[in-house]
Amino acid sequence: MLNRIIAIFVSAIFISTVAQGKEVTDKTEIGSSATEWRHMYFIGISKGSPNEIDLSEGQVQGLLSMVNVGPAISNGAAIKPEYLINSKGTTPWLAMFALVHAKQPSALPIIAEGKSRIHIPTQFISGTFNSHNNWPPEMLAKYDMKLEGYNTFVIPFLIHSSANPVSNLSQSMKAPDGSLEIFNVNEFSEKSPEELLVKISDIVKFIKESRPYIAQAVQP
């Protein structure tokens, strides 16, 4: 499975790596398996298209620090929930892991040990997960993820299973112009992917019930 994913996603993409006092050439087994990594995500809403969102490494690290996340495999892309499973059945989390595993595998144990972080360029994720809907139609139909004037999205990232517990935002983070708002952090499970749809529909329900002025907003 991993070899197939690598064959699909490996390309000449620059990866920004920050190592804290240790060379990424160290070799160890920790972090080398995809099953060791937790698939985390922020939920957000945006007046514009999520494809236009390109958070910088600094912005993402700022968000992660607010939820007690240090070393991680992150990116600045925002993905509409219906596009989280592409035509190959691959998720952004597996794609991000496969890219690092193929391009710089020696970095994985360093991140797992809490001594480094990697930020993957936005275009790698946004260019791959932006049009194909591979969810079962009957599953998507069960959940209301529509918010007039806004688009829902998730920002995926990975942390090692040995990392410190993830906290949550004390309050949502909102852009000054109100065009974008980021809510809580959750974990995606490949065994129960439908839970992600539940979480997003819960956010939409909360907004419609507690902020009717947002639900009535008109997208520019």
Instruction: Tell me if 7 is assigned to some domain.
Output: no
Closest CA to 193 of 74, 91, 122, 94: 91
Instruction: Tell me if 21 is assigned to some domain.
Output: no
Instruction: Tell me if 220 is assigned to some domain.
Output: no
pLDDT tens over the chain, length 220 residues: 333 333 334 333 334 444 443 444 444 479 999 999 999 999 999 999 999 999 999 999 999 999 999 999 999 999 999 999 988 889 999 999 999 999 999 999 999 999 999 999 999 999 899 989 999 999 999 999 999 889 999 999 999 999 999 999 989 999 988 899 999 999 999 999 999 999 999 999 999 988 776 655 444 4
Instruction: Tell me if 66 is assigned to some domain.
Output: yes
Instruction: Tell me if 169 is assigned to some domain.
Output: yes
> So what's the pLDDT on residue 216?
54
Q: Cα separation of 195 and 139, whole Å?
A: 11
Asked if 185 contacts 42 with a C-beta cutoff of 8 angstroms, the reply is yes
Asked if 159 contacts 166 with a C-beta cutoff of 8 angstroms, the reply is yes
Structure token digits, residue 41: 């995500």
> So what's the pLDDT on residue 29?
77
> So what's the pLDDT on residue 116?
92
> So what's the pLDDT on residue 95?
96
Asked if 148 contacts 217 with a C-beta cutoff of 8 angstroms, the reply is yes
Q: How many CA atoms lie within 13 A of 192 on its CB side?
A: 6
Q: Cα separation of 121 and 67, whole Å?
A: 22
Hey, which residues does 42 pair with through a beta bridge? 155, 185
Instruction: Tell me if 64 is assigned to some domain.
Output: yes
Q: Cα separation of 63 and 128, whole Å?
A: 23
Instruction: Tell me if 136 is assigned to some domain.
Output: yes
- Domain membership of residue 134 as a residue range: 29-215
Q: At what angle do helices 2-9 and 92-103 cross, to 10 degrees?
A: 80
Spell out the residues 6+ positions from residue 212 whose beta carbon is closer than 8 angstroms to its own.
none
> So what's the pLDDT on residue 1?
38
Q: Is 26 helix (H, G, I), strand (E, B) or coil?
A: coil
Q: Cα separation of 204 and 197, whole Å?
A: 11
What's the total number of domains in the chain? 1
End-to-end CA distance of the chain: 42
> So what's the pLDDT on residue 46?
96
Structure token digits, residue 128: 């791959």
Instruction: Tell me if 22 is assigned to some domain.
Output: no
